[in-house]
C-alpha cells in the first residue's frame, strides 16, 4: 500500500510540474494572444494559479482548491483546466471523471492548446477513459497545429512524433483525418 501511495504521489508531482510549466508558458504568451485577438486569462488569475499549483503539488489543498474553483467560476481557462485535472486525478477534490473531462473538453473545443494536450495525455494513459493511442495521437496533432507557438504546442508536436512509432500507417491516417475533421468542424 505504501509503495502504491508513493507511486501516486510521484505521478501527481509530475502532473503538477507539467501544469506549472504550461502555466509559465501561458503567462509569457499573454501579449501574443492579445495581439492575435484570442481569448486570454487575466494576469491576476495566472499569478494566483501559479501559487495554487505549487500548493497542490505540495498537497496543501485548503486554500488552493478554493482559489482554483473561484477562478474557474469566473471563467479563467487555466483554472478550469486545472480544476478538470484535479477531478480526473482526485487531487484535493473527490474524483469525478465526467466533470473533469467535461471541463477539459470544453476548453479544447474553444482552442485552448493546453487542454488539447491534456486530452491527448488522458487518452494515452487511460485516465478516466479507455487507453486509446490513436485518439491521443489525434489530440496531439490538434494541439501541435495550434496557431500560437507555446510550450503545449511544442510538447504536443514531440508527443505526436513519438506516437507515430507506435501506430500503423492506417492508424496514423485515422488520427490525422480525425484531427483535420476537428479543425474543419470549428472553421465552418
Residue 184: Cβ within 10 Å count: 9
Q: Where are the alpha helices (DSSP H) in the chain?
A: 2-28, 30-36, 43-57, 61-73, 77-89, 97-109, 113-125, 133-144, 151-164, 169-186
CATH 1.25.40.10 fits 2-186, yes or no: yes
> Where along the chain do its domains lie?
2-186
17-62 per-position pLDDT tens digit = 545 444 444 444 444 444 444 457 788 888 888 888 888 888 888 8
DSSP 24-51: HHHHHTHHHHHHHT-----HHHHHHHHH
Q: Given this model, what pLDDT does residue 10 score?
A: 56
Res 88: pLDDT: 93
* % pLDDT > 90, the chain: 30
The pTM (predicted TM-score) of the whole model is 0.74
pLDDT in tens, 91-132: 889 999 999 999 999 999 888 888 999 999 999 999 898 999
- pLDDT in the model for residue 100: 95
Amino acid at each position: 500500500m505504501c509503495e502504491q501511495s508513493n507511486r501516486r504521489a510521484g505521478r501527481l508531482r509530475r502532473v503538477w510540474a507539467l501544469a506549472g510549466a504550461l502555466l509559465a508558458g501561458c503567462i509569457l504568451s499573454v501579449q501574443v494572444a492579445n495581439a492575435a485577438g484570442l481569448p486570454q486569462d487575466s494576469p491576476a488569475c495566472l499569478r494566483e494559479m501559479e501559487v495554487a499549483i505549487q500548493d497542490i503539488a505540495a498537497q496543501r489543498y485548503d486554500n488552493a482548491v478554493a482559489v482554483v474553483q473561484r477562478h474557474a467560476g469566473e471563467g479563467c481557462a487555466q483554472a478550469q483546466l486545472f480544476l478538470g485535472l484535479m477531478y480526473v486525478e482526485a487531487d484535493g477534490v473527490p474524483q469525478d471523471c465526467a466533470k473533469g473531462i467535461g471541463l477539459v473538453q470544453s476548453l479544447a473545443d474553444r482552442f485552448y492548446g493546453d487542454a488539447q494536450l491534456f486530452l491527448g495525455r488522458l487518452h494515452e494513459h487511460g485516465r478516466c477513459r479507455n487507453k486509446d493511442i490513436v485518439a491521443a495521437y489525434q489530440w496531439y496533432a490538434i494541439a501541435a497545429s495550434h496557431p500560437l507557438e507555446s510550450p503545449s504546442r511544442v510538447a504536443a508536436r514531440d508527443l505526436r512524433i513519438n506516437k507515430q512509432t507506435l501506430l500503423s500507417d492506417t492508424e496514423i491516417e485515422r488520427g490525422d483525418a480525425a484531427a483535420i475533421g476537428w479543425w474543419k468542424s470549428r472553421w465552418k
